[in-house]
Chains A and B, each alone.
Chain A
Amino acid sequence: MTEQNLTITPELKDAVVNLLFQLADDDFFYSYRGSEWLGLAPHIEEDVASSSISQDSMGHAAMFYQLLEEIGIGNADALAHLRPANERRNSILVERPNGEGYYMEVPKYDWAYAVVRNYFYTAAKKIKIDSLKNSSYEPLAKVAIKVNMELYYHLLHWKTWFVQLLSSTGEAKQRMQAAIEQVMKDFADVFSFGTDGEKFIASGLIEKEDVLIQRWKQHLEPVFQSIGLTVPEIPVNGERNGRNFEHTEDLVSAIETLSEVYRIDTAATW
């Protein structure tokens, strides 16, 4: 893949690498949080089904890390496991815990939060992936086409839970509304590209943030209307922008856990 490097300017390469890290880290932690639910979902058949979504998403992250490896940034496993929190570019939405407690002890995970986070994140991912299908960076466009194929099921799955819970009991509606509020607090950086984002657009890697945000709203509009709600506003400035390496303690401990075995010997084959 070194042929690719010859036609890219260092500036374009930086932009591509930055964007790829955002996409890879997003899906990696989304899948990580999803996998903490294994064995703990409210219903066995749902546990099985949503596990496929976590696997698909880790598979997507692996494809993005693989693109980075092909550009020469490093080994995919090392990029996934070793980079500390202050080098990560994921949205803070995906690093937030699933609820109270650590999965190894007595976690009290919140299913309403899981459904809302998963649905809103997947809808955002769909919008981005659709735009990336036309990316000027061809390897990324090709990966986007593949990722897109699996998003149909992810969207159907989470939309179904979202609509059904919001159309059910008073308690469920309350919990879901609270979850929507909580998710939106961390949504500001989902569509942000960070401080160097302009370069992504200028190079034709992806479309403008506000164009994508509009499409996200349009995508969700009919679903919200069908249950008598309006699509929530994305806050303009979040507490932190994960795209600019601003993260939480939650991410620090997540990375500690996920790299625990890998760090025993980073040169070893596992």
Chain B
Amino acid sequence: MIIENILAINITIKYNNVKYTLYEKGGINVSTLEKDFTEQEELEKFVARIEAGDKIEADDWMPEEYRVALIKLISQHGISEIMGALPEKEWVPKAPSLRRKLGIMAKVQDEMGHGQLLLRVAEDLLKPYGKDRGDLMQDLFNGDLKFHNVFHMATNTWADAGMIGWLVDGAAIITQTNMLGASYGPYARALHRICAEEVFHAQHGEAIIMALAEGTEEQKQMIQESLNDWWEALLMFFGPASSTTTGTSKQDVTIKYKIRTSTNEELRQSFFSKYIPRILSLGLTIPDPTLHFDEEQQLWVYQQPDWNKFKQIIRNNGPRSQARLNLRRVSYETNAWVLDALSAAVN
């Protein structure tokens, strides 16, 4: 019998690898019957849970690799929503009708809301490391926390605002629905809320594009130019097919732990299948003359985007990377007095 801890009122004993907690008052009481599992045993149980399709919750045992992968994925996802609000909000004041102004305000609100849900999930995972939202913001500013490549691009016209709502959100719906069955419970629940709101986003984007597609020659030209400008960014949205393209890829870990089910390329193919017929139906031309569906391979064949641009973007050297980071940083610093003013003492 080894006495491990002596506290004022309880004693923990390890006997035959079983931990017993005894309470001094009222004599000895065996009050925990749970074995103290080894790290290896916990990992085996964990893997079995993942295989069985169980949900892992915030206070469950999880291997470090899983926690770290989730933190990276979810904090990036969350911060991308926050950063993604910035290109979209540019169009709120400029939206060309009362209804469109309202629609975009609501959409941007949802993006900030999605960021809030996801950051909360990430923050709870960060608790053991003693990090909080303020630390995540600092990680963003010093380049450690990346935001999605698509939000580093410039928006130049009203059609771009529509294109984001239609095809960028469309791409996001594909990646997000893919993770609705994620093994991590809090993330899956957040994604359910998010995907429900994405339906409105898709329709809002479609409404803008439809009005342009059915409008004047100038309006039709506006969407075609927008599609030309955004096509490469849309291809890159799903990330490289493999790590050989850019040197890194997170998809293996997230698939292994059943956080997502499909690979980057599978998701991109899914996007083509769902959206190319619609794009063409509106009379638009895809700015890739080589694009076609190969019946034999049952795959869309297309011209690869310039992945060097992608590498630049993930180093925060995209067209609007620094401007948007700066906007967020300045805003954060300018408002720091507010956080300071209302901070309260905690235990």
- A contacts B: CB pair < 8 Å: yes
Let me know if A36 is at the binding interface, CB within 8 A. Answer: yes
Which residue of chain B has its CB nearest to the CB of A270? B96
Report chain A residues within 8 Å CB of B326: 106
Q: A42-B338, A65-B98 are in contact. Are A258 and B93 (CB under 8 A)?
A: yes
Asked if B342 and A51 sit within 8 Å, CB to CB, the answer is no
The one of A36, A55, A109, A261 that contacts B109, using a Cβ cutoff of 8 Å: A55
Let me know if A252 is at the binding interface, CB within 8 A.
no
- Contact digits for A38-70, partner B, Cβ 8 Å, 1 yes 0 no: 111111110110011011001101100100000
The answer to whether A261 and B96 have CB atoms under 8 Å apart is yes
Q: Collect the chain A residues with CB atoms within 8 Å of residue B212's CB.
A: 270
Contacts A165-B338, A265-B219 hold; do A76 and B98 have CB atoms under 8 A apart?
yes
A168 to B326, CA, bound (A): 29
The answer to whether the Cβ of B101 comes within 8 Å of any Cβ in the partner chain is yes
- Does B17 have its Cβ within 8 Å of any Cβ on chain A? no
* Interface segment, one of B40-48, B65-73, B112-120, B224-232: B112-120
Output the least CB separation between A82 and chain B (Å).
Answer: 11
Main secondary structure of the interface of A (DSSP, over half): helix
Is B85 part of the binding interface, using a Cβ–Cβ cutoff of 8 Å?
A: yes
Stretch at the interface among B53-61, B169-177, B327-335: B327-335
B105 touches A58 (CB 8 A): yes
Q: Do A55 and B105 have beta carbons less than 8 Å apart?
A: yes
Q: Does B340 sit at the interface, judged by CB under 8 A?
A: yes
A194 to chain B, nearest CB (A): 24
Residues of A within 8 A of B102 (CB): 55, 58-59, 62
Using a CB–CB cutoff of 8 Å, the interface residues on chain B facing chain A are 82, 85-86, 89-90, 92-102, 105-106, 108-109, 112-113, 115-116, 119, 133, 158, 208, 211-212, 214-216, 218-219, 326-328, 330-331, 334-335, 337-342
Q: Are B116 and A44 in contact (CB under 8 A)?
A: yes
A77:B98 contact, CB within 8 angstroms: yes
Stretch touching chain B among A5-13, A129-137, A169-177, A224-232: A169-177
Do the beta carbons of B94 and A261 come within 8 Å of each other? yes
Closest to B101 in A: A58
- Number of A-B residue pairs, CB cutoff 8 Å, is 141
CA–CA, A38 to B113, complex, Å?
12
Could you say which residues of chain A place their CB within 8 Å of the CB of B106? 51, 55
Are A265 and B98 interface neighbours, CB within 8 A?
no
Q: Within the assembled complex, what's the spacing in Å between the Cα atoms of A111 and B337?
A: 9
Judging by beta carbons under 8 Å apart, are A257 and B93 in contact?
A: yes
Given contacts A32-B93, A38-B89, A258-B94, are A270 and B340 in contact (CB under 8 A)?
Answer: no
A36 touching B93 in the complex, CB below 8 Å, given contacts A108-B334, A169-B341, A171-B341: yes
Chain B residues whose CB sits within 8 angstroms of the CB of A165 once the complex forms: 338, 341-342
Contact of A39 among B85, B214, B216, B335 (CB under 8 A): B85
* A interface, CB within 8 angstroms of B: 32, 35-36, 38-45, 47-48, 51-52, 54-55, 58-59, 61-62, 65, 76-77, 80-81, 99, 103-104, 106-111, 164-165, 168-169, 171-172, 175, 254, 257-258, 260-262, 264-265, 268-270
Whether A48 contacts B218 by the Cβ 8 Å rule is no
* CB closest residue in chain B, given A65: B98
* Shortest CB distance B108–A (Å): 5
Q: Find the B residue at minimum CB distance from A168.
A: B341
Residues in B neighbouring A104, C-beta threshold 8 A? 90
Taking A40-B335, A107-B330 as known contacts, 8 extra A-B pairs with beta carbons closer than 8 A to each other, sorted by chain A number, are A40-B331, A44-B82, A44-B133, A48-B109, A51-B109, A59-B102, A61-B98, A269-B214
A35 touching B96 in the complex, CB below 8 Å, given contacts A109-B334, A171-B337, A175-B337 = no
Judge whether B338 and A77 touch: CB under 8 Å: no
Closest to B83 in A: A39
Contact between B218 and A264 (Cβ–Cβ < 8 Å)?
Answer: yes
Partner of A164 from the list B112, B339, B340, B342 (CB cut-off 8 Å) is B342
Contact yes or no, A35 B97, CB < 8 A = no
B86 touches A269 (CB 8 A): no
Interface centre among B95, B215, B337 (most CB of A within 10 A): B337
Q: Show 10 A/B contacts (Cβ-Cβ < 8 Å), sorted by A.
A: A35-B89, A38-B105, A38-B112, A44-B82, A62-B99, A77-B96, A261-B94, A265-B216, A269-B215, A270-B208
For A36, what are the chain B residues with a Cβ–Cβ distance below 8 Å? 93
Q: A48-B112, A270-B96 are in contact. Are A108 and B105 (CB under 8 A)?
A: no
Contacts A103-B93, A265-B218 given; indicate if A172 touches B337 (C-beta within 8 A).
yes
Q: Name the A residues within 8 Å of B101 (CB-CB).
A: 35, 58
- In the assembled complex, how far is the CB of residue A30 from the closest CB belonging to chain B, in whole angstroms? 13
Contacts of B94 in A (CB 8 A): 257-258, 260-261
By a CB distance below 8 angstroms, the chain B residues around A48 are: 109, 112-113, 116
Q: A61-B98, A108-B330, A269-B211 are in contact. Are A38 and B85 (CB under 8 A)?
A: yes
A173, chain B: closest CB distance, angstroms = 9
| Nearest CB on B from A51, distance (A) | 4
CB pair B93–A35 under 8 Å, yes or no, is yes
Q: Which residues of B contact A55 (CB under 8 A)?
A: 102, 105-106, 109
Which A residues are CB-close (under 8 A) to B338?
A: 42-43, 111, 165, 172
Give which listed residue, A38, A42, A108, A268, contacts B92 with CB less than 8 A: A38
- Known A51-B109, A269-B211: A262·B342 in contact at CB below 8 Å: no
Q: Which residues of A contact B214 (CB under 8 A)?
A: 269
B116 / chain A contacts, CB cutoff of 8 Å: 44-45, 48
Chain B proximity of A66: nearest CB distance (Å): 9
Determine the chain B residues whose CB is within 8 A of the CB of A40 once the complex forms. 327, 331, 335
CA distance A43 to B106 in the complex (A): 18
